[in-house]
Structure 1
Amino acid sequence: MDREEDVDQNRLSEVLSDILKCEGFFMEHVHVFRSECLLSEKISKDLFGITEIKCGSAMAEGSQILGSDMDIMQVSPGIIAVNGDSNFFDEKMHILKEVMDHCLPGYTRLLVHRLNPKSNFLPDIQTIIKKDGNSLYLSSEEYLKTFKNVRTKSWTFPYGKANFYSHGPCTTASMYNLKGISNNIEYDMTCGIKCHSWPVAATEWIHRPRLMGWPSSDIAEKIASFPVHVMPVGDPNSDISSMQWRFAFSYAERELIWYFSDIQFSVTFY
């Protein structure tokens, strides 16, 4: 009886695999999408000086689930967030210090530490700084308002039309009437500020015991070399939500997915 059940189970796995391939899911296809993602990021950086992080199932993970959108974080130039005890200095950057008191894990405030006139950060940083006591902080609320206003006014797409709406830290462009494409496409766009290093609380993840051996220590060390960012969204239950920023591990999360096995990928996305 057990052998019959094993045969049925194996047959079921084969049928599922065939169905996924018919739906366009096979690892070679996924690898193409991942390569396209990295190439497009490099083109944006090398040709236009824009750092973009592409994530989400359609663009970065290559799963192409029906209804998937494309998530893009644009990293602001000329500004950086550092740990409180860091001595980092760059004459072309505004430098902010992470202050995590009165914040839940995963959130921080950004204390203005040093403003440099040579920074190419836009908009005028003075318009999004708020005072709290004797200290100045970068307002996530004002920063996000400016980003959304700029993105909706500057967005151009010659092959169709777009509607915009906001949710959380994202501005979504819903494109329709696309030439040669029957389905609508959605882009979730947000902005972020690069951190000089990982937050101290997150470094535990790198060396924690892993009973199942995934990810391997080599992968964990590689992921630890990727930058972390902060996004302009605060804890909704906090009285100082408009001054808080949320840590984003977009590169790390994407890399973990790219190291999924075939089975992990199939189970997760299908």
Structure 2
Amino acid sequence: MKGSDGDIMCIERNVVVLCHNQMNSVPQNKGGKSVLWMRPANSRPGYVRLEVVYLGRQISTDFYSAIVPVGDQYFLSSEVFQKKFIDLMGHYLQIDAEIHGPAAAFQTYGVKIYTVGSFKCINWPKEANEWVIRPRLHGWPDKTLRDEIVHDGCHLVPVGDKTSPDTFLQWRISFATAERKLVYSLSRVQFLVYGLLKYFLKQISDTLKQILGDTDILSSYIIKTIVFHAVEKTPCSLWQEKHTFICFMLCLNILITWVKAGHCPNYFIPTNNMFLGKVHGENKQKLLHFLLSLHDMKWGCLSVGTFIQPTIGDVVDNIWIGTNGPLCPCLCFPSIPECERDLELFRSAEQYSYTLASLPVSLTFLCKSKTENDEFLSYVTTIHSLSFVAMGKFREHTKYRGNKEKYKYLRKCKIFLSPGASVCTSPGLLTLATYYYQTGNYTKTLNICRDMTTSFKNIYSFDL
């Protein structure tokens, strides 16, 4: 795409990094490699210091120059390493390079290139353990991919926490290789939405610079983080081609909610707020107002900006049915706001009485429904009726003799509760959590409660 840049990660193969709780795994046959040990840093989660444990035979100039004594220990300075790396890069390529985050930025053949030096950590950092074990109700990423990512470890790049008073020895944990694997695991529609969001960010970049004086407040990395959170927290059935713009708006809503809260959780380390020191005060209010105005434009937000012409919004507006037919109906704006129409549907669904007798009626209605509204109302009625039956019958398991008969009965109750849990958080998911609690399955109860109390759920939780 016009204006795209290039990202290169250079990995120092003669250096290996270990987590501070993995010192027993220091390879006996180091093969001449230097060994570094991750140490806690006085910063937010996701940043560490690197202690030099062992010096190998092959030491690069930028590595050796960055070794700094601290008492009777030796650490590696990120600032010294980065400066030396940029100097060497400029010397060998005969170009002028500048610092951009952890990278050396330079221009070549009209393309901006960002090159970062890094070290490989063979362990998975404990700061990201929550990512491995947190509940995933929709199965993404699956266990096989998670195991592969954990097995590959992470990297360390030379940049400190800008909100910290002393960044001289701080290094950032990078999950670049894990993120590549996750991006490659996205479905076609998920990847299209990711591309649409990056296009959207590119289009509004000039306006952001005028409003905030800084385009880095919203970066492409923030966009990638939004997509990861959205895909993990939503069912794969949502990500269909006909829902492309709906999924785009879902991601825009997430961004708006994070800006409003002033908290953007790193995907691997949610306690690392990537908005810290950036989105606050007057800048936060300006950014929020701008994003809300774009959100209110619906399709029109894709017509904002002049970086790429014609805009996607303009192309969409020119879609016609036939040669001289009317504008495609799916692009027309409804006379009644979408939110009001959704609320009216919910009110209609709440008017039904959920009893055992209503179940055959709702199932018949569901089979014969022809419109989306009819299907929605009949499905909601069906799942609430099933939940009503399950809750009414739950305590009857006590009259059965033998654990096998009781298990069959309780299992049937859980099956009746499951459809409601997949549709709404309350009462659906919380009712299922109550079932697990009543049957003594405290692990699943805690998993659901833990998922409900994540920052994402607290900020962006709706009954669908």
TM bucket by the smaller chain? 0.5 to 0.7
State the distance in 2 between where 1:94 and 1:105 align: 25
Is residue 76–residue 121 contact of structure 1 (8 Å, CA) maintained in 2? no
Greater fraction of residues in helix: 2
Partner Cα distance (1:243, 1:205) in 2 = 26
- How far residue 91 of structure 1 moved from its aligned partner, in angstroms, is 4.7
Aligned twin of 2:388: none
In the alignment, which residue of structure 1 is the partner of 2:4? 68
Flag the structure with more relative contact order, 1 or 2, with Cα contacts below 8 A and sequence separation at least 6: 1
Give the secondary structure class of the aligned counterpart of 2:32: coil
Q: Residue 108 of structure 1 aligns with which residue?
A: 48
Shift of 1:69: 1.0
* 2:171 aligned with 1:241: no
Q: What residue is the counterpart of 1:140 in the other structure?
A: 78
Q: Which residue in 2 is equivalent to 1:201?
A: 127
TM-score (norm 2): 0.39
Is the 2:47–2:161 contact (alpha carbons within 8 Å) kept by the matching residues of 1? yes
Partner of 2:152: 226
Report how far residue 163 of structure 1 moved.
5.3
Runs of 4+ in 1 over 4 A off after TM superposition: none
In 2, the alpha carbon distance for the partners of 1:193 and 1:103 equals 20
Map 1:15-94 → 2, pairs under 5 A: 65-85=1-21, 86-87=23-24, 88-89=26-27, 90-94=30-34
Q: Determine the C-alpha separation between the residues in 2 that align with 1:163 and 1:114.
A: 34
State the distance in 2 between where 1:235 and 1:101 align. Answer: 9
Inter-CA distance 68–204: structure 2 relative to 1 (3 Å threshold)? same
Aligned pairs for 1:154-233 (under 5 A) are 154-155=92-93, 164-176=97-109, 184-233=110-159
Which one has the bigger strand percentage?
Answer: 1
Asked whether the 8 Å contact 2:79–2:169 carries over to 1, the reply is yes
Instruction: Say if 1:83 and 1:199, in contact at 8 Å, map to a contact too.
Output: yes
Q: Secondary structure at the match of 1:197?
A: coil
Distance 1:103 1:236 in 2: 9
RMSD after superposition: 1.8
Amino acid of the structure 1 residue aligned with 2:104:
T
Greater mean alpha carbon deviation, residues 196-205 or residues 123-132: 123-132
Equivalent residue pairs, number: 192
Supply the distance in 2 between the matched residues of 1:125 and 1:260 (Cα, whole angstroms). 37
Compared CA separation, residues 124 and 191, structure 1 to 2 (3 A): closer
Tell me how far apart the structure 2 counterparts of residues 105 and 236 of structure 1 sit (CA, whole Å): 12
Native 8 Å contact 2:124 2:151 kept in 1: no
The 3-state SS of whatever aligns with 2:61 is: coil
Does residue 99 of structure 1 match 2:39?
yes
Letter matched to residue 154 of structure 2: V
For residue 142 of structure 1, what is the amino acid of its counterpart? V
Query: How much does 1:146 deviate?
Result: 0.9
Q: Distance in 2 between matches of 1:209 and 1:125?
A: 40
Deviations 1:73-95 (A, max 9, x none): 10012111112232303151111
Work out the CA distance in 2 between the residues paired with 1:240 and 1:121.
26
The 8 Å contact of residues 141 and 232 in structure 1, kept in 2 or not, is answered as yes
Structure 2: how far apart are the matches of 1:218 and 1:235? 32
Q: Which segments of 5 or more consecutive residues in structure 2 lack a partner in the other structure?
A: 197-464
User: Percent identical across equivalent pairs?
Assistant: 32
**d(CA) in 1 for partners of 2:144, 2:153:** 17
